[in-house]
Amino acid sequence: MRGSSGPARTRRSAAILAVIAATGVAVAFTSGPDGPGAAREVGAEQQVNRETILKGRQLVLEHGCGGCHGGDANPAAPGFLAGITSPAQEFPIGACAEQPGAEPCWMTRPRNLTPDNTTGLGRFSERQIFNALRFGLRPGETADVEITSSTPGEGNFPLSPKYLAPPMPWNSWRHMPDADLWAIAAYLKHGLKPVSNQVEDSEGPPDFWASAYTEETFGSYPAPPFPAAAEQEPVDRSLRDRVLAGRQQVLEHACGDCHGGFQNPNAEGFLAGASAPGQIFPVGPCLEDPSAPCFMMRPRNLTPHPEAGTGRYTERQIFNAIRHGLRPSGTPDRDITPETFPADPDFLGPGMIWFEVRHMSDADIRAIATYLKHGLKPVNRVMEESDRHPDGWGTFYTDEEVGTFPAPPFPTVNEVGG
Ligand code: HEC
Ligand code: HEC
């Protein structure tokens, strides 16, 4: 978590919480006690096979679960997915995310996702994990039942839902297909070694964030039909399937948390660049030492505007940005191989989580590029450049810091199965 994605994640939370502070949730907070659903027998669950576990692993890497829960996208890293181990990894949520000391302020804590029976997910069934990812319901305080509605009181959806605290991006994860969420649950329960690490419970408002998670901000589930207000039909209709596939990837990978509009393609400014105050954020040594240098990250306009957005780039340049972290405006338009990798690479700053999303398949990344170029309305909004590190960020991106691509073979020292 040090150095790169940790700070990026912290700032992503600031963006979300700037939004949430504006909704005016109550100032008092309570810590959520472990409720009746907490103790649960592990065992009689669906059959899991190696293929499902490997699929779950792939999804966990490309969605960057380890960016908050430990170890980033490196399954061989110490503490991978085992939860935070220091107060420096907590998220201040509320007005204090923008201004230290301001109220309201809640500390939230990414939990231990390994299958340890007392401190991790061993206590919960795969269905409870599924319900956490699809509906944002806290597994420790939600009954282990099949849920068929998102309306409180209907279809087993709790009348008083206890939601997971921000910045847990369940509003994005819920857009994954059922089979993907089940595969993640199978990997967490059966593909990881249990690690004992008790993470203190998160703080939250009395309504457990119910008034914070609005459809207006985070979009609806399922997503509105294509094209929504910020979108357009591709001029070349033969691209439509790929545009829809790319839209799906953009929603489920939380691109809008930083690039604007969260998961709401009806929102004004969807993917048109940082708009909420916290979406422009510092990275670098200043996060640990306020007198040290800071680099401001400005998530860019991804709409296909010919001057202000991705209209300037080819789909291959967008692909190279997501797979290799290469800045499209500073990188020649060519296929990247070990031989053609630039000698003096111009990397995107670590606020862009390319070292997580690079684990997507080629087809998924290409679909995203097609969606950005052909499925979005161009928005003429010029974003100021991010600050560049004098060395183009190259020294930041070590294997130790961001893991390897491709990922190390399964199982690593943190994993089980064979
Ligand atoms: C931006 C940070 C962030 C990312 C990325 C993230 N989480 Fe979380 N997650 C959290 C926080 C914070 C909590 C604690 C919420 C609370 O206590 O209410 C949490 C809680 C959870 C829980 C509930 C655990 C429990 O014991 O109650 C599960 C399950 C979970 N996350 C799974 C995932 C998975 C799977 C991914 C990747 C697909 C992921 N998370 C990515 C921040 C994150
Ligand atoms: C945690 C915040 C964050 C998330 C999530 C995120 N990005 Fe970014 N992205 C950034 C930042 C910051 C930059 C600018 C970095 C710089 O200029 O050095 C950026 C830059 C980019 C660029 C380069 C654009 C240009 O004009 O140079 C592309 C393309 C991009 N992001 C696509 C995506 C896609 C697609 C997703 C979702 C799969 C995504 N980003 C998710 C923060 C984020």
Span 358-381, average pLDDT: 98
23 pLDDT band (50/70/90 cuts)?
very low
Q: Which two tokens stand for residue 240?
A: 């439509």
C-alpha 110 to ligand 1 mean position (Å): 5
Residues lining ligand 2, judged by CB closer than 6 Å?
8, 12, 250, 253-255, 257-259, 297, 299-300, 302, 318, 321-322, 327-329, 348-349, 351-353, 357, 368, 386
102 residue type, one letter = A
In this predicted structure, what is the pLDDT of residue 61? Answer: 98
Cα(300) to ligand 2 centroid in Å equals 6
User: In the prediction, which pLDDT does 63 show?
Assistant: 98
Tell me the backbone φ, ψ of residue 279, rounded to 5 degrees: -75, -15
Domain boundaries, the chain: 5-204, 215-387
**pLDDT tier for residue 54 given thresholds of 50, 70 and 90:** very high
Q: What is the pLDDT, as a whole number, of residue 7?
A: 42
Cα gap 12→93, rounded to integer Å: 11
Given this model, what pLDDT does residue 12 score?
58
Q: What is the distance in A from the centroid of ligand 1 to the CA of 304?
A: 32
Is pLDDT of 89 > 60? yes
Atom of ligand 1 nearest to the CA of 139: 27
Which amino acid residue places its CA nearest to atom 37 of ligand 2?
255
Task: Give the distance (Å) from ligand 2 centre to CA of residue 92.
Answer: 23
Q: What pLDDT digit, counting tens, does each position of 184-203 carry?
A: 999 999 999 999 999 999 99
Residue nearest to atom 35 of ligand 1 (CA): 65
Give the mutation target among 4, 30, 69, 207 for probing the ligand 1 site: most ligand atoms within 8 A of CB.
69
* Spacing of C-alpha 316 from chain mean position: 24
* pLDDT tens per residue, range 132-149: 999 999 999 999 999 999
**CB distance 44 to 146 below 8 Å:** no
What's the CA-to-centroid distance between 372 and ligand 1, angstroms?
28
Q: Which listed ligand is nearest to 172 at the C-alpha?
A: 1
Task: Give the residue whose CA is nearest to atom 8 of ligand 2.
Answer: 352
CA-nearest residue for atom 14, ligand 2, is: 299
Cβ of 164 closer than 6 Å to ligand 1, yes or no, is yes
What is the rounded distance in angstroms from the CA atom of residue 53 to the CA atom of residue 182? 10
pLDDT at 32: 30
**pLDDT at position 6 over 60:** no
Helix/strand/coil percent split, the chain, to 5? 35, 5, 60
Q: Ligand 2 mean position to 273 CA, how many Å?
A: 9
In 3D, which of 309, 310, 273, 297 has the Cα closest to residue 348? 297
Residue with CA closest to ligand 1 atom 14: 110
**More reliable by pLDDT, 106 or 45:** 106
Q: Is the pLDDT of residue 96 over 60?
A: yes
Q: Which atom of ligand 1 is nearest to the CA of 64?
A: 5
pLDDT tier, 88 (very low <50, low <70, confident <90, very high otherwise): confident
The ligand with the least distance to the CA atom of 271 is 2
SS3 201: coil
Output the CA torsion sign for 220, 224, 229, 230: positive
Contacts of 160 (CB under 8 A, 6+ apart): 152, 208, 210
How does pLDDT run across 263-296, given as a tens digit for each residue?
Answer: 999 999 999 999 877 788 888 888 778 788 889 9
The DSSP symbol for 396 reads: G
